[in-house]
Amino acid sequence: MSDLVAVLPKNALEEIHVTRTVFKGKRYVDIRVFYKPSDGSEPRPTKKGVCLAVEDLGDLLKVLGKVNQEGKPGAKGKAA
């Protein structure tokens, strides 16, 4: 079972799909780059991406929050 959560544009030829899925009873979030074929058919997945267990998302969100804060004007420090 997969549930598409969001589609984010990356560039003219690619987009990022965020999907919730369950595999062997465990919940995951898959963040993957899809490309748009030149024939106009549905976007297709690439190998570029990451699949994380839902319980690991907290750690990722902490790191991304830190990176986001450091990217703001006047911020000091480096990402871990």
Delineate the domains of the chain, giving CATH numbers in brackets. 2-70 (2.30.31.10)
What pLDDT, on the 0 to 100 scale, is given for residue 2? Answer: 86
Distance (Å, rounded) from C-alpha 11 to C-alpha 34?
11
pLDDT tens-digit series, residues 16-72: 999 999 999 999 999 999 999 999 899 999 999 999 999 999 999 999 999 988 877
Distance (Å, rounded) from C-alpha 4 to C-alpha 23?
15
Burial pattern 17-31, b for ≥16 Cβ within 10 A else e, equals bebeeeeeeeebbbb
Q: What is the CA radius of gyration of the chain?
A: 16
